[in-house]
Every structure is written in structure tokens, then in C-alpha cells.
Amino acid sequence: MNEKVYKTMTRCGAGNIALGIIVLVSGISAGILVLINGIKLLKRKSEITF
């Protein structure tokens, strides 16, 4: 009985760590893309403003 509980908890823990890593990587990627787009807008600021 205790072994089943231990295996279940281990799988849940591993799944949570994997999900956390995926969320972290996607957040960093999104942040980098936002910065790149902001830099592009700043470079073309004179063309955009009227």
C-alpha cells in the first residue's frame, strides 16, 4: 500500500517539476520576443509618429 502511494507522489512531483520548467522556458521566450519587438518599434519611432 505504501509503495503505491510513494510511486504516485513521485510521478506527481516529477510532473510538477517538468511543468514548471516548461512554464519557465516559455515565459523567458515570451519576454525576449516582447523586448525584440519593442526595440524594433523604438528604431522606427520616427516613421511611426505623425
DSSP the chain: -HHHHHHHHHHHHHHHHHHHHHHHHHHHHHHHHHHHHHHHHHHTHHHH--
pLDDT < 50 positions in the chain: none
Report pTM.
Answer: 0.71
Supply the pLDDT for residue 1: 77
